[in-house]
């Protein structure tokens, strides 16, 4: 073989080896950095742009795609200890002509974290309304989606701010003391806040949390589990404070006290195999909310976004179409 050809292959092999070695090193040594790059890349691929907006000295971080149009904008509120990027798996299956906004909830990711902030459900509702007003979302009809803690906030948001609003609430209230809820009560009684199952500090605890939240058993490599833990550990003290606030008497029953006041079109989505918040909560909400549609997902746990993104995206689109058609018919009457 010609020496020049050999040299070409050597150079090409060396060129390819550098990014491959960099990837392997990142995976082994800095898995948390790899996870951040992954979300960055996924946002770019899906056309989601990150922006910041301020209400006085308070900063909100959010991502968005599209612009307001004749269809309602969609605002998505994530759950406890998550962030705006958790919605990307659903965004992937939503039409590109929709105006989508995913906000970091108070104290999470790029949104301001303050020791003076009211982290109760009512306090978070006030913050989300500030965000809505900053973006002027309430000037036109918009659809509010929330899952788990975010769903709790969305449900309590609707009664005082019903104008031009429709709701999708996912896995958000417990009505039955399942095994997880009983364990939480035991932890509260013993003040063992270091052992909250939703706040992992080791790869093993992270694996247990994923199994708790998902009916589907994902095989997650040890290095990725470590990366997920590394990303969370600096925030665990905040998560503990927030968790104790949202399960306190002040917040725990706030949706229960407000659900019969919800008058806007509402969609309930729940995984039938939810081990965190029992699926019986869907029936309780349906009985209390007048204009309500319930969707129960088979073979799905608490992490509806992660387990059934395509299905939930379709349910959202179909629900919005039905609400939009109803509104148009009312205008014609």
* Sequence ranges of the domains in the chain: 1-33, 47-331
CATH code for the part of the protein at 47-331: 3.40.50.1820
Q: What is the pLDDT of residues 47-102, one digit of tens each?
A: 999 999 999 999 999 999 999 988 999 999 999 999 999 999 999 999 999 999 99
* Helix ranges, the chain (H): 3-29, 31-46, 88-91, 121-135, 149-157, 179-190, 203-213, 222-232, 236-246, 249-252, 254-258, 280-288, 304-307, 309-332
- Taking CA 144 as the corner, what is the angle to CA 228 and CA 79, rounded to the nearest 5 degrees? 20
pLDDT digits (tens, 9 = 90+) for 225-249: 998 999 999 999 999 999 999 988 8
CB 80 within 8 A of CB 198: yes
The whole-angstrom separation of Cα 200 and Cα 228 is 9
Eight-state DSSP code of residue 303: -
- Cα 301 to Cα 76, 136, 144, 159, distances in angstroms: 19, 35, 22, 28
Q: Tell me how far apart the 2 most distant CA atoms of the chain are, in Å.
A: 83
φ/ψ of residue 35, rounded to 5: -65, -40
The token duo for 117 is: 């902030």
Distance (Å, whole) CA 67 – CA 75: 12
Q: For the chain, what percent of residues have pLDDT higher than 90? A: 65
Task: Say whether 270 sits in a helix, a strand or coil.
Answer: strand
Asked if 308 and 297 count as a contact pair (C-beta separation under 8 A), the reply is: yes
pLDDT in tens, 245-299: 998 888 888 998 999 999 999 999 999 999 999 999 999 999 999 889 999 999 9
> 125: closest CA among 238, 243, 258?
258
How many angstroms separate the CA atoms of 146 and 152, rounded?
7
Q: What is the mean pLDDT of the chain?
A: 86
What residue has token string 């303050």? Answer: 114
pLDDT at 165: 83
Q: Render pLDDT for 185-201 as a digit per residue (tens, 0 to 9).
A: 665 555 556 678 999 99
Q: Are strands 266-271 and 165-170 parallel, antiparallel or unpaired?
A: parallel
d(CA 285, CA 265): 13
Q: What is the pLDDT of residue 180?
A: 62
Give catalytic residue positions: 148, 274, 302
Helix axes 31-46, 222-232, angle to 10 degrees: 90
Which residues contact residue 190 at a Cβ distance below 8 angstroms, ignoring those fewer than 6 apart?
none
Q: How far is CA 136 from CA 74, 124, 128, 130, in A?
A: 13, 18, 12, 10
CA dist 76 and 154 (Å) reads 9
What pTM value is reported for the model?
0.87
174 alpha-carbon distance from chain centroid: 18
Q: Residue 191 has what pLDDT? A: 54
pLDDT of residue 187: 58
Q: How far apart are CA 159 and CA 155, in angstroms?
A: 8
């Amino acid at each position: 073989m010609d020496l020049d050809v050999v040299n070409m292959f050597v150079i090409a092999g060396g060129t390819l080896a550098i990014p491959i070695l960099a990837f392997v090193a990142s995976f082994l040594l800095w898995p948390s950095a790899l996870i951040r790059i992954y979300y960055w890349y996924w946002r770019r691929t899906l056309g989601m742009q990150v922006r910041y907006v301020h209400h006085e000295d308070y900063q909100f971080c959010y991502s968005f795609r599209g612009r307001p149009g004749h269809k309602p904008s969609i605002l998505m509120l994530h759950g406890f200890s998550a962030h705006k990027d958790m919605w990307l798996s659903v965004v992937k299956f939503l039409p590109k002509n929709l105006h989508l906004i995913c906000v970091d909830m108070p104290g999470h990711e790029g949104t301001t974290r303050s020791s003076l902030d009211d982290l109760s459900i009512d306090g978070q509702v006030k913050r989300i309304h500030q965000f809505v007003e900053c973006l002027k979302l309430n000037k036109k009809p918009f659809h509010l989606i929330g899952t788990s803690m975010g769903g709790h906030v969305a449900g309590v948001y609707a009664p005082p701010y019903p104008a031009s609003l429709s709701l999708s609430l996912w896995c958000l209230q417990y009505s039955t003391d399942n095994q997880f809820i009983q364990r939480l009560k035991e932890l509260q009684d013993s003040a063992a806040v270091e052992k909250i199952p939703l706040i992992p500090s080791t790869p093993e605890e992270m694996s247990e949390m994923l199994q708790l939240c998902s009916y589907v058993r994902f095989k997650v490599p040890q290095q990725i589990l470590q990366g997920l833990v590394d990303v969370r550990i600096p925030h665990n003290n905040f998560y503990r404070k927030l968790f104790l606030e949202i399960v306190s008497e002040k917040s725990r029953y706030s949706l229960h006290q407000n659900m019969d006041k919800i008058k806007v079109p509402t969609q309930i989505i729940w995984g039938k195999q939810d081990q965190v918040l029992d699926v019986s909560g869907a029936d309780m909400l349906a009985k209390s909310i007048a204009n309500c549609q319930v969707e129960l997902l088979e073979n799905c746990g608490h992490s509806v976004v992660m387990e059934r993104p395509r299905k939930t995206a379709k349910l959202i689109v179909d629900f919005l179409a039905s609400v939009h058609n109803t509104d148009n018919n009312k205008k014609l009457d």
